[in-house]
Amino acid sequence: MAFFHSPALLLLLFLSLPFSVQSQLSLDYYQKTCPDFAQIVHDTVARKHATSPVTAAASMRLLFSDCLVGGCDGSVLVSSNVFNHAERDAEINRNLPGDAFDVVTRAKITLELSCPGIVSCSDVLAQATRDLIAATGGPSYKVELGRKDSLVSKVSDVEGNIPKPNQSIDELIKLYTAKGFTIQEMVALYGGRTIGFSNCKEFSDRLFNFSKNTPTDPEINSKYAEALKKSCADYEKNPASSAYSDPVTPGKFDNVYYQNLLRGMGLLASDQALVKDPRTRKFVEMYAGNQALFFKDFGEAMEKMSVREVKTGGKGEVRTRCDAFNSINH
């Protein structure tokens, strides 16, 4: 019997165990425990998209924030720990309309009726985002399932983990490569802004206060700049003033975002930065001329993004409500 307790054997058994938590995810994770999962999420998404087409962009931004800040674990959904803090509001909430939270909440409520305590909120967010992107004409990609929801949500985790509107290309590359993404994957992910939008205050300096002698950024297409000035004329009085990242086909997921960048129609300084640096411009040009390649690369980058630092097993929980931990002790 001593043989079975030998340190050497225990070490061999340990080394034979799956190393990556990602290996615990699977495409058919809910096949037996919640067979209606995919259909419930799909139907919820279809209803929400029909009444509020901006939900796709909001959901994608929510997923990015969740995965880049704490790993894809639904930490960004916890209202008591996240959105009651002004610091976190300043970094995330201004960019996350209620539509994204609403679609996750609606799907979760229906899933709790069908298969209570089975489906995590982080899985709902990942699946819903993919379905919403497809609903706007974008690519459908594989979503591995089996995430657990976080047990922690910290305000201090935000700073430095989310790209900002005015960041330089060096700062953006540093951020994304630190998260495990290549420069090409970063440019492909930025293509998701083809259905995005931004508040006027995020780019108002480019229109009205670029420099002492030049109020408008000369790199902005002149006609585009004039249109933006009209749209954002009262941005100081109206914080909700915003503009689409792609004014040409704002509701359609396509490669026009990249074509716009080459015309000087990048909304944010960080958008336009992609065409100013040779490390990123070559990929902008590539995707501007080849939508099929963009869709392929975007889908693969999203598969990678949506499993970043996931929690599995006992490292998380399946929340009953997406905006609150199951136990107050968390």
Report pLDDT digits (tens) over 124-161: 999 999 999 999 999 999 999 999 999 887 665 666 67
| Distance in angstroms (rounded) separating the CA atoms of residues 284 and 304 | 20
| Distance in angstroms (rounded) separating the CA atoms of residues 89 and 19 | 36
Binding residue per annotation — 75?
A: yes
Looking at the chain, list the stretches that DSSP marks H as alpha helix, in order from N- to C-terminal side: 7-15, 37-51, 55-70, 86-91, 98-114, 121-135, 169-178, 183-190, 204-208, 222-231, 256-262, 269-276, 278-288, 291-305
| Distance in angstroms (rounded) separating the CA atoms of residues 4 and 38 | 44
Binding residue per annotation — 254?
A: yes
Per-residue pLDDT tens digits for 79-101? 754 443 433 443 344 444 578 89
Q: Mean pLDDT across the stretch 241-260?
A: 95
Query: What is the sign of the dihedral through the CA atoms of 86, 92, 94 and 100?
Result: negative
| Distance in angstroms (rounded) separating the CA atoms of residues 199 and 156 | 24
Binding residue per annotation — 71?
A: yes
Q: What angle do CA 90, 96, 100 make, to 5 degrees?
A: 155
Binding residue per annotation — 177?
A: no
Binding residue per annotation — 43?
A: no
Query: Which amino acid, residue 43?
Result: D
Predicted confidence at residue 84, as pLDDT, reads: 39
What letter does residue 311 receive in the DSSP assignment?
Answer: B
Neighbour-count burial for 202-231, b at 16+ CB within 10 Å, e otherwise: bbbbbbbebeeeeebbeebeeebbeebbeb
Query: How many percent of the chain have pLDDT more than 90?
Result: 72
Query: How many percent of the chain have pLDDT more than 70?
Result: 85
Predicted confidence at residue 23, as pLDDT, reads: 57
| Distance in angstroms (rounded) separating the CA atoms of residues 41 and 283 | 33
Is 218 in contact with 263 (CB distance < 8 Å)?
Answer: no
Domains of the chain (ranges; CATH) run 36-157 (1.10.520.10), 169-289 (1.10.420.10)
pLDDT-derived band at 216 (thresholds 50, 70, 90) equals very high
Q: Which residues pair with 145 in a beta bridge?
A: 26
Predicted confidence at residue 313, as pLDDT, reads: 87
Nearest residue to 186 via CA among 202, 166, 170? 170
Average per-residue pLDDT for the chain:
87
Is 132 in contact with 103 (CB distance < 8 Å)?
Answer: yes
| Radius of gyration for the chain, computed over Cα atoms and rounded to the nearest angstrom | 21
